[in-house]
Amino acid sequence: MPQLTTTTNKIPIFYRLTFTIIEPLTTLYGVIIALFFPDLLMRDYFSRGLVTYAPETKTLYTQIGGMWAYFAWNGYFVLGGVHDRGLWRRLLSGMLVGDFIYYFAAAEAVGGWAAFLDVSAMSSLDVLQLQSSPICL
């Protein structure tokens, strides 16, 4: 098992604000959408209206909501309570992997990467999601 080393380097305020306040709050919004409005999540967030929500898949949206709740917890309580840059890098790397998989799924839903990256087909919500992703930060 790797040794966890601690440092006293301060985490820059931009990262603290982004990943301990803004990211957990927006993630909690996603949790609410996934748990209570899965049709909206599929239509507006995942597929640009190209895929319809099937009620028999509700359990998958509940699982997505649970995963996002865990991300929000980690951002607020774990990252908010430590000053170790190594731990921050590890946790944010995991979040980045999750973001890549999220975008991979979104690309699948709209017909592939060419369709997903077609700026002329993007809604303002698509642009906001891309701009607010750690991938773009």
Residue 7 lies in a domain: no
Domain of 58 in residue numbering reads as 13-132
Residue 106 lies in a domain: yes
Residue 18 lies in a domain: yes
Residue 105 lies in a domain: yes
Q: Give the pLDDT confidence score for residue 37 in this predicted structure.
A: 94
Residue 8 lies in a domain: no
Residue 2 lies in a domain: no
Residue 100 lies in a domain: yes
Q: Give the pLDDT confidence score for residue 129 in this predicted structure.
A: 74
Q: Give the pLDDT confidence score for residue 3 in this predicted structure.
A: 56
Residue 62 lies in a domain: yes
Count of domains forming the chain? 1
Q: Give the pLDDT confidence score for residue 89 in this predicted structure.
A: 92
Give the C-alpha distances (Å, rounded to integers) separating 119 from 87, 94, 98, 122, 127.
35, 27, 23, 5, 8
pTM of the model: 0.78
Question: For the chain, which residues score pLDDT lower than 50?
Answer: none
